[in-house]
Chain A
Amino acid sequence: AQKVTQAQTEISVVEKEDVTLDCVYETRDTTYYLFWYKQPPSGELVFLIRRNSFDEQNEISGRYSWNFQKSTSSFNFTITASQVVDSAVYFCALSEDRDDKIIFGKGTRLHILP
């Protein structure tokens, strides 16, 4: 069965600090996709990144970086020099096929304090 666990329910950090959001996944498939979505207070889910299971290269996009480790079934997300606008709920997610539904973790609510 597929499962995504985000152990951190809520995190608060002061602006400009770095913060890492943890994600651990379970799947029996060898081919799968991992995602991160951001849900700001407005409510709309914003796509951030997709990785497929064959691509373990870490990725950096501006202040955002992602660390994918198959050995530990983890796909962690780091925000460097956090800003108040980063405050949101962040969801890690998994799908086991290109056409498959996405299974979401419970989300981590991130508060960036000014």
Chain B
Amino acid sequence: GAGVSQSPSNKVTEKGKDVELRCDPISGHTALYWYRQSLGQGLEFLIYFQGNSAPDKSGLPSDRFSAERTGGSVSTLTIQRTQQEDSAVYLCASSLDSATQYFGPGTRLTVL
């Protein structure tokens, strides 16, 4: 069956550019989460959506990071004015019962 999908799988950008990362959750999953994985910090929570609203944005590292979710489905994570420390793998997860999260393959972001 279809799992969580993310695009692009790889993104290389120059410092200062904006990037958009996309997540398609498992069909019917109401909860959606963004995490990032980097060598120094491990796996970190960024933001959580229930439907289209985001009750927990506590993990967003700065105001350069934002995310939205439309139609209770697809979500976009936007990073403005990218910095080298933003380089990481960005992981999306979705959940039906809000307890078990299923992860996508991630987007590897490299900021030059």
Contact = CB atoms under 8 A, between A and B. Distances in A.
Contact of B91 (A45, A50, A98, A107): A45
Interface string B37-80: 00000110100101000011011000000000000000000000
B103 A91 contact: no
Contacts of A42: 105
A87 interface: no
Contacts of A43: 89, 105-106
Name the prevailing secondary structure of the B interface residues: strand
B33 A45 contact: no
Contacts of B91: 45
11 contacts: A45-B103, A46-B103, A47-B101, A98-B97, A99-B31, A99-B50, A100-B48, A100-B56, A101-B48, A101-B56, A103-B45
